[in-house]
Amino acid sequence: MIAAVEPAYGTGPLLLIALGAVLLLLFLIIKLKLHAFVALVLVSLMTAIATRIPLGQVVSTMTDGFGKTLASVALLVGLGAMIGRLMEVTGGAQVLADTLINRFGENRAPLALGVASLLFGFPIFFDAGLIVMLPIIFSVARRFGGSVLFYAFPAAGAFAVMHAFVPPHPGPVAAGELLGADIGLLVLVGLVIAIPTWYLGAYLYSKYAGRKFDLPVPDLLDAGSTGTLAGRVPTFGIVLTLLLMPLVLIFLNTGVSTLVTTGAVDKNAGWAQLFMLVGQTPVALLATVLVAMVTLGRSVGTREAVEKVVNDALGPVCGIILITGAGGMFGGVLRASGIGEALAGSLESTGLPVIVAAFVVATALRVAQGSATVALTTTAGLMAPTIAATEGLSALDRCLIVVAIACGATVLSHVNDSGFWLVGRFLGMDEKTTLKTWTVMETLLGSIGFVIAFTASLVF
């Protein structure tokens, strides 16, 4: 755990340090062409020293942020890349892409990918869902041409809004519990706001971004290699089963966990603990990899050939894993320095309406430290006393405040957000292009969602 450090400065100096750190990072990467991993580690070190984190805790603070991010990302990226590579070289991704396009039509291919991602995004986390979908996205993009953003952003935006707005994802669940919101109602409210937000902020925006930024399909997952190694293309049923398998297992974990939380099932029951274990995302992906190696391995050929395919999947994603971890390191240093809390505390006392103050505080925390989940949970904790003391708040009002917090925790994804590096690197974008596309889309999603939530709070 990152050590708790008493802030050495007030809000003003801490905010200036955070701004200077971000500007320095952008200068090192964009102007001096310093590798993003090295630049993130260097700026994290300098920020820790500048904010007067005790020298004896500097390295442990950095490695805690790095390690916590890798703990959640490395397994998902590595196992997801193996699944994606197996689906790609056996032609499975192409089979799924062909079926989707035949059902929706060529002109609605991005819509098909987005709708599928909205469904898959209900139980599965943003990074895991995106990684599993990438081979399909790349196959569709290869088939019909045009910028990869046409196809990737509807899917990425779908996973982003579902992850931030809708339980059972940890951020909205934690915020809902802290603010006393009804989780069942929060699911409905989150979905009602998430769907139009995705359509306006991700699907329609992808049409503009795809025209403005003509980005080719990356070779990262070798999306261009269609066909199979042994000449046997897997069936649509097998491919769909492999795609749904981790989602079903994760959803099983969610369902059993909900029953345990409500008291309907004894938490010590062996079967409940087993289901919750196999439904943990890393375990679910591991099980899917093993099944994929057996079912798709028939198309690959020998066991040695299967081993080579999954081994080759890891090399290209190692850089992504390290850069993503370094982004988590930078965010961890900012959290430990007290920058986010100092800024949020000053904004909380401005006298704004509760739902507006919740959005602004969450935005400040998001910009300051990067993590959407941390911004969600921290803002809910900061706002909880105010909301408890506010009279006349209905169950719907509390749900709308949770969504407003989620919206603030979504906007302005930038260099201290591990998702910024994950999306940018997987789609083959440099930092400047990622800021012009991914950051803009995330800001649109958060802003549109807040407008809908705020309007609903005035009407109902």
Tens digits of per-residue pLDDT, 127-137? 777 877 888 88
Place 228 in a pLDDT band, splitting at 50, 70 and 90: very low
**Residue 168: is the preceding peptide bond cis (ω within 30°)?**
yes
Mean of the per-residue pLDDT values of the chain: 81
Average pLDDT over residues 441-449: 96
273 pLDDT higher than 90: no
pLDDT in tens, 327-352: 778 777 877 887 766 655 565 566 67
Interior/surface letters 312-330, b for 16+ CB within 10 angstroms, e for the rest: ebeebbeebbbbbbbbbbb
Mean pLDDT in residue range 302-318? 81
Q: Is the dihedral of CA 110, 169, 336, 323 positive or negative?
A: negative
What pLDDT shows up at residue 2?
47
Nearest residue to 443 (alpha-carbon basis) of 399, 416, 409, 418? 409
Q: Which amino acid is at 275?
A: F
Q: Is the pLDDT of residue 456 over 70?
A: yes
Can you give the pLDDT at residue 226?
42
Q: What is the pLDDT of residue 349?
A: 61
pLDDT over 70 percentage in the chain: 87
The stretch 245-268 carries a mean pLDDT of: 78
Instruction: Give residue 346's pLDDT.
Output: 61
What pLDDT sits at residue 156? 93
Torsion over CA: 370, 19, 339, 353 (sign): negative
Residue 72 pLDDT class (50, 70, 90 cuts): low
Question: pTM here?
Answer: 0.67
Number of neighbours of residue 38 by Cβ within 10 angstroms: 13
179-214 pLDDT, tens digit per residue, is 888 777 887 889 899 999 999 999 999 999 999 999
**pLDDT tops 70 at residue 93:** no
The per-residue pLDDT for 284 is 84
Question: Where is mean pLDDT largest: 139-143, 182-186, 369-373?
Answer: 139-143
Contacts of 394 (CB under 8 A, 6+ apart): none
- Answer with the residue of higher pLDDT: 100 or 144: 144
Give 122-137 as a DSSP string.
TTS-HHHHHHHHHHHH
Question: What mean pLDDT comes out for the span 203-230?
Answer: 74
Mean pLDDT of 140-157: 90
Q: If you average pLDDT over each of 242-251, 355-364, 447-456, which comes out highest?
A: 447-456
What was the pLDDT predicted at 448? 97
* Residues 433, 153: Cα–Cα separation, whole Å: 14
Average pLDDT over residues 424-446: 92
For residues 122-147, average pLDDT? 80
pLDDT at 372: 76
Higher per-residue pLDDT: 427 or 5: 427
Torsion angle of the four alpha carbons 245, 250, 256, 262, in this order, in degrees rounded to the nearest 10: -150
Determine the Cα–Cα distance for residues 421 and 412; give it in Å rounded to an integer.
13
The 10s digit of each residue's pLDDT in 373-413 is 777 777 776 677 677 767 778 889 999 999 999 999 999 98
How far apart (Å, rounded) are the C-alpha atoms in residues 244 and 124?
11
Tell me which of 371 and 147 has the higher pLDDT: 147
Least confident window among 5-9, 154-158, 232-236:
5-9
